[in-house]
Copies of this chain bind each other. A is one copy, B any other.
Amino acid sequence: MIVRPHQHWFRRLFVWHGSVLSEILFRLSLNLAMSVVAILCFQWYEALGVKLTLAPFSLLGVAIAIFLGFRNSVSYARFTEARMMWGNLLIVNRSLLRQVKSILPQRPELAQELAALLMAFSYCLKHQLRKTPMDEDLARLLAEHDTQTIANSASPCNQILLLIGQWLGKRRQEGDVSDILFHSIDQNVNQLSAVLAGCERISNTPIPFAYRLIVHRTVYLFCTLLPFALVPDLHYMTPLVSVFISYTFISLDALAEELEDPFGTAPNDLPLNAMCNAIEINLREMNNESNVPQKLLPDKQFQLN
């Protein structure tokens, strides 16, 4: 995620957007080349009686804009839902720890055990979604034995939920919590389960492949043919207008593709590192621990990840 300080509108025109850029630039230079070809061929092309006029492209352009608008709103909805899931994760983490601390104020060691499990869950979810190795973070937070079990599992996050369930069951059997309070805490653990499966769903179920393909392909072909339709009217202005229209369509198509998978590390994706860090700071502070980590800040490119 890019976190820029507020900038003057004029300045912003000259700022470039992250990783999408190289692909867009390549495609736009292709479009520029096409425009030059269109200008060069124009006379020879008119002589042949071959005519491409703007009218059908105008119809098609509006249709594509409508479909691209839908494609964008679908991708953005995935991004928003993913963000909401991680927001819920923070809510539930804070609520669980607060519950345990108000029920068992005289047992701070239990609150610390739970906090460790909760932090491990967040880091584990991040690593699972980004397919990065989770061993280091787990080892830092949990006992040797639990780390092993989790790492060997096909579904490590769910394994941590099982450990939280066992921890809670133990509290109930040892009489620390009554059945009602067990139920109350357990409902929050169910919320963690919902966050986990929600993130897995977004991560494993892309937008139907055919849909992305149709829009992508249509945008591409449209931008390639556009210079030939513009040249009879615009002559030497063709490259300017063609590149401008292509920029609008191609960059929105590229951004939709980037937002679609919000758990990556591209500039417009969610800053999972910073979110895990925020959860850790919150939980440790609630337990009055001394080893509260530093807050992660954006780097020089205003980039958090």
Name A's B-contacting residues (CB within 8 A). 1-4, 9, 12-13, 15, 17-18, 20, 23, 27, 49-70, 72-74, 76, 79, 83-84, 87-88, 90-91, 94-95, 98-99, 101-103, 105, 153-155, 158-159, 161-162, 165-166, 168-169, 172-173, 178-184, 186-190, 193-194, 196-198, 200-201, 205-206, 208-211, 213-214, 216-218, 220-221, 225, 230, 233-237, 241, 244-245, 247-249, 251-252, 255, 258-259, 267-268, 270, 281-282, 285-286, 292, 295
Contacts and interface: CB of A to CB of B under 8 A. Distances in A.
B62 A59 contact: yes
A255 to B, nearest CB: 5
A56 B101 contact: no
A79 B208 contact: yes
Given A52-B241, A53-B234, A225-B241, 20 more contacts: A4-B209, A50-B236, A56-B233, A59-B62, A60-B245, A62-B62, A76-B208, A87-B198, A91-B190, A99-B186, A102-B165, A103-B172, A105-B173, A154-B285, A180-B182, A210-B251, A210-B267, A211-B255, A211-B268, A225-B244
Contacts of A105: 166, 169, 173
By Cβ-Cβ distance, the 10 closest A-B pairs, closest first, are A102-B169, A17-B210, A63-B65, A102-B165, A2-B209, A98-B165, A87-B201, A179-B180, A91-B197, A59-B61
29 contacts: A3-B206, A4-B209, A13-B216, A17-B210, A18-B209, A18-B210, A51-B237, A56-B234, A58-B59, A59-B61, A59-B245, A60-B61, A60-B244, A62-B65, A84-B201, A90-B197, A94-B158, A94-B197, A98-B161, A98-B189, A99-B186, A101-B165, A102-B165, A102-B172, A155-B282, A180-B183, A184-B187, A209-B268, A211-B255
